[in-house]
Structure 1
Amino acid sequence: MKKKIGIVTYLRSNNYGARIQGYAMYKVFKDAGYEVEMIDVDYPKRYYKYCLGRIVGHSASLKEWVYKYIVAVKMIRFTKRYLPATKHLITSSTDKMTDFVNSRNYDAVVCGSDEIWSSRTKEIAPPSIYFLPEKIQAKCIAFTPSANGNHTFTDAERKWLKKTFENYGYIGVRDKLTKRLVESIAKDSTPDLIFDPTLYTDFEKTALPEKLTKSRKKKIAFVFTRPHNDFPEELLKRLDTEDIECYSIFTLVKNTTFLPISPEQFTCVFQEFDIVFTNFFHGVIFSLKNQTPVLGFDTFEKYLHRESKVKDLLTRLELPELFRSYLKYDETKLEEIATWTKSVLSGEQSYDFTDNLRIAYDVLDDSMKKVKEVIDEESTI
């Protein structure tokens, strides 16, 4: 009989990365030979802010709201189509969530990927279901969670986290910041530093908009969340755009064509572009997977004080030259980026990311071998 795995993640966030990494988590464990189920739980405030509120709150105009509504519908359909899940439980009680998880009789419960260990709001700070409370009656595994947020914990929270981390059979985290967090709380813990599961997953190609695939012009894509400090508009002023088609994904950028694509299309749309500019973590990942030149950006001031997930990713993949920090208008940086863009579009500069992607695949492959050993070992729980 196949062992049963439950996965705790941000299943319903209206964000390409959240939806696709959820699918990647599911596929990684299903392909490993397990029966897999997504645990569909939400805290009320987080659900209404990131799952429902993101459509309206992150839209600068009615036109963009309509686009984002279309995208949100496609994201919901994607999750329903590909991810077997429990019933949806919304509650502010971690104990009720824990009881719900225990009622499913899992052999192991996995938390990850995404920023599920971020403590940016009180609701998801410890004790929360995303850290897998000690009362869970199954083997506990952390597979690529991230703590990309505020990490100031009270003494009581740190004590709770220490017991929780020590209860895990395996911990593999997505970035150096999260690794340091675990090590600072559970001194004897040695979490593995691994990569996002989307780098370990093959995705099927799907049909893309004809206006994109039939064009023979050079194509640039901007994949940004707000704020992006008017970088796209300023860059376009420095390029000869008569022979360039410019597109935007997720956030509408002036003087570009918005693509309200589905998560399935997001995984392969980057193959159609000659260059991608993005501050999306998964925008960087899928550009690399589609062998498309990309610049990954930091555009938030919080990254003045700590390394961002984009910089961490590109550094560990031995591609630090593709990272840029752009927090405010900077003429020198704009000119440098414009020069780089022209060299790529002209064919003067080219990239092959095969060896870089192999780094991530090998790390994740080794990690999954350790995870399988933990799951397949006879349980004493």
Structure 2
Amino acid sequence: MIGILTFSRCYNYGAFLQAYALQRFLIENGYDNELIDYRNQKSIHNELRTMFRHDGNTPALYLKLLYKFMKFRYYHRKFKKTRHYLHREELGEKHYHTVIIGSDQIWCYTKEWGGVDTPYFSDQLSADKIIAYAASMGPDNFDRQHPRSIVRLMKNFDSIGVRDLNTFKFATSLNENTVRLVLDPTLIYNFDQEIKDVHFKNYILFYSDGLLPDDKIIQEMKALSREKGLQIISIGKKFDWADRNIIAPSPFRWMGYIKHADFVFTCMFHGLLFSMKFNKQFALFLIPERENKCLDFLRRVDLTGRVVREQSDMNRLLESKIDYRPVNEFLKKEQIVSASFLHENLKKNTL
């Protein structure tokens, strides 16, 4: 049996879908697996406090956020998983042939909800083999002074796959094994059976966790949307300037909103990945804490020109079209690399 330890008990579209994608990819390739449903109380509390904290919350908005929370709880049941572990000391009660740690920002220990959470670095796990797949440090820089516990635990990994160059340098400095760049799980699983259609047409999709670009850029987007006859739909978060706010779509309908958008404007890593997955025209406003992962991936696909840095960039990017032929070719090659990494490390655990 293979265990997967990642961010799965979350109320975030990207976190849910990366965990779902990895589990389904493994099942489709004959690997029996389950999610190790670990998340401590501090981490849960911090995320929910952030999710429901908003100075302008109305009773109606609060109910929509509560509905979003309940909807995620329902979709969490789609995972094959263990019981919920609140304490890291409980993790050793079950032994696995292999534990996969990752994907997502599992190694971001300064900004994530749980702080330094050592099981994501291999602590307390019982397994013959421990590997990382598409792990990321997020905004944490590889060359900072890391806690001694992390330096020690990183040596336990038998094989490491990461999803960005910053994390590659981090892992290479702390583990003697060869580290490989691999794709986020959402790019190696197609979701053809899961994606839900939407009935809206002619819209710009805005996707952010609350962070915003400069107000002049927002005003330019609004002016251009009116000029082109497009609505602005914000997904997952309410913004008063949006024409429509879709607060609580299911994770699979969330994908549908991206797939059917005329244009996507986002600062989110998975907003970026799904835009590319569905070959959408998009623009990214760059937040410093996401530069390590977002800008790194844009460099790899030669699309750094899709970053909005000033007001005039919006018109240029709405008018220009991305040639997805080289992007799709890159993704096709990297899908083979990523699948090979998993197969090489899991071949002894087939059903």
TM-score, L = length of structure 2: 0.88
- The code of the aligned residue for 2:123 comes to P
Q: Secondary structure at the match of 2:126?
A: coil
Tell me, in whole angstroms, the C-alpha distance in 2 between the residues paired with 1:198 and 1:136. 27
1:99 aligned to 2:78? no
Q: Report the equivalent of 1:193.
A: 181
- The code of the aligned residue for 1:98 comes to L
Q: Report the equivalent of 2:284.
A: 296
The counterpart of 2:172, out of the listed 180, 183, 204, is 183
Tell me, in whole angstroms, the C-alpha distance in 2 between the residues paired with 1:240 and 1:131. 45
Q: Report how far residue 351 of structure 1 moved.
A: 2.8
Q: Report the equivalent of 1:41.
A: 38
Q: Report how far residue 124 of structure 1 moved.
A: 4.8
- The question of whether the paired residues in 1 share the 8 Å contact of 2:234 and 2:242 is answered with no
TM-score, L = length of structure 1: 0.81
Shift in alpha-carbon separation, 1:176–1:274, aligned structure 2, 3 A:
same
Q: Summarize deviations over 1:285-332 as a string: whole Å, max 9, x none.
A: 1111122101122134x46xxx4311111111222211234xxxxxxx
Shift in alpha-carbon separation, 1:45–1:362, aligned structure 2, 3 A:
same
Q: Secondary structure at the match of 1:192?
A: strand
Q: Report how far residue 48 of structure 1 moved.
A: 1.1
Q: Report how far residue 121 of structure 1 moved.
A: 5.4
1:319 aligned to 2:303? yes
1:147 aligned to 2:137? yes
Taking the TM superposition and a 5 Å limit, the aligned residue runs for 1:1-381 are 4-50=1-47, 52-57=48-53, 60-62=56-58, 63-80=60-77, 82-91=78-87, 94=88, 96-100=89-93, 103=94, 105-120=95-110, 124=114, 128-133=118-123, 136-150=126-140, 157-158=147-148, 160-186=149-175, 188-204=176-192, 206-210=195-199, 212=200, 215=201, 218-229=202-213, 231=215, 233-239=218-224, 241=226, 243-253=229-239, 254-259=241-246, 260-300=248-288, 302=289, 307-325=291-309, 333-341=310-318, 343=319, 349-377=320-348
Shift in alpha-carbon separation, 1:198–1:59, aligned structure 2, 3 A:
farther
Tell me, in whole angstroms, the C-alpha distance in 1 between the residues paired with 2:251 and 2:113. 27
Tell me, in whole angstroms, the C-alpha distance in 2 between the residues paired with 1:153 and 1:26. 32
Q: Report how far residue 170 of structure 1 moved.
A: 1.3
Shift in alpha-carbon separation, 1:234–1:97, aligned structure 2, 3 A:
farther
Q: Report how far residue 222 of structure 1 moved.
A: 0.6
Tell me, in whole angstroms, the C-alpha distance in 2 between the residues paired with 1:121 and 1:321. 28
- The question of whether the paired residues in 2 share the 8 Å contact of 1:114 and 1:145 is answered with yes
Q: Which runs of 5+ in 1 are unaligned?
A: 326-332, 344-348
Structure 1 stretches of 4+ with a deviation exceeding 6 A read none
User: Which piece of structure 1 moves more, 105-114 or 291-300?
Assistant: 291-300
Shift in alpha-carbon separation, 1:358–1:69, aligned structure 2, 3 A:
farther
- The code of the aligned residue for 1:295 comes to A
- The question of whether the paired residues in 2 share the 8 Å contact of 1:220 and 1:244 is answered with yes
Q: Which runs of 5+ in 2 are unaligned?
A: none
Q: Report how far residue 30 of structure 1 moved.
A: 1.4
Tell me, in whole angstroms, the C-alpha distance in 2 between the residues paired with 1:90 and 1:134. 13
Q: Summarize deviations over 1:113-155 as a string: whole Å, max 9, x none.
A: 1101111159855561111127633210100011114358767
- The code of the aligned residue for 1:239 comes to L
Q: How many residues align?
A: 342
- The question of whether the paired residues in 2 share the 8 Å contact of 1:107 and 1:375 is answered with no
- The code of the aligned residue for 1:367 comes to S
Shift in alpha-carbon separation, 1:172–1:291, aligned structure 2, 3 A:
same
User: Which piece of structure 1 moves more, 131-140 or 281-290?
Assistant: 131-140
**Higher normalized contact order (CA 8 Å, seq sep 6+, divided by chain length):** 2
- The code of the aligned residue for 1:112 comes to G
- The code of the aligned residue for 2:218 comes to E
Percent identity between the two aligned chains: 24
Tell me, in whole angstroms, the C-alpha distance in 1 between the residues paired with 2:316 and 2:108. 37
